[in-house]
Chains A and B, each alone.
Chain A
């Protein structure tokens, strides 16, 4: 069956530390993959999307990067976290009409 796994659910990291959030998809092939961020009290903002392995598009300049090493794996990374990177991060995929959403990761940078 089609699903999406995103972990961890919550994360507390010190400023300047690296970040790696992973998202994996099951039950489909060649999906479009997305990373979104939601700052406190705000809506979901698209950070990155990918239409295929190694193909990453960035919507906004930031301290983050994304990679898609395999068809169903999407990774969000940072070399050095900033306080402003705190927020709720959501991975999602879509293919034609269907879309699936990860549970999200609540990141607090301290």
Chain B
């Protein structure tokens, strides 16, 4: 079992819908990162979180340290949001940066 698990693996929605992608982790982490990868593209860092909530435009990331869970929300989704979203975390006390499997998001017009 991966230390970092994402859900869902695939998500298809209509333009304008509110999107939630989840990331759960089973070990101690230093922080949690959300990344975006467009089809055929590189990796873009969206957020780094160690507590609470961060917002950037239509993207909101939250983390609950006690529940070992983070969510990435997209408000008023748009087809250009279609991408793979990945959560990643450096593990406490270990030389290991672990990635979730990614969530493939497709927003249809």
Give the tally of cross-chain contacts (CB within 8 A).
Answer: 58
**Nearest-neighbor residue (CB-CB) of A59 within chain B:** B96
Question: Once the chains bind, are A43 and B97 in contact (CB under 8 Å)?
Answer: no
**Are A44 and B86 in contact (CB-based, < 8 A)?**
yes
Contact of A101 among B30, B40, B45, B96 (CB under 8 A): B45
How does the 8 Å CB contact mask read for B14-37 relative to A, with 1 for contact and 0 for none? 000000000000000011010101
A101 near B90 (CB under 8 angstroms)?
no
Q: Does chain A have a CB within 8 A of B88?
A: yes
| Contact between chains at A32 and B95 (CB < 8 Å) | yes
- For A99, list chain B residues within 8 Å (CB): 31, 33, 48, 88, 90, 97
Number of interface residues of B (CB under 8 A): 21
* Chain A residue total in the interface (Cβ 8 A): 23
Query: Does A9 sit at the interface, judged by CB under 8 A?
Result: yes
How far does the alpha carbon of A46 sit from the alpha carbon of B13 in the complex, in Å? Answer: 31
Interface contact B30-A92, CB-CB below 8 Å: no
Which of A12-20, A69-77, A78-86, A102-110 is the interface stretch? A102-110
18 A-B pairs with C-beta separation under 8 A: A32-B95, A34-B97, A36-B99, A43-B100, A43-B102, A44-B86, A46-B97, A49-B95, A94-B97, A96-B90, A97-B50, A99-B31, A99-B33, A99-B48, A99-B97, A100-B45, A101-B33, A102-B43
Instruction: List residues of A whose CB falls within 8 A of some B CB.
Output: 9, 32, 34, 36, 43-44, 46, 49, 51, 57, 90, 92, 94, 96-104, 106
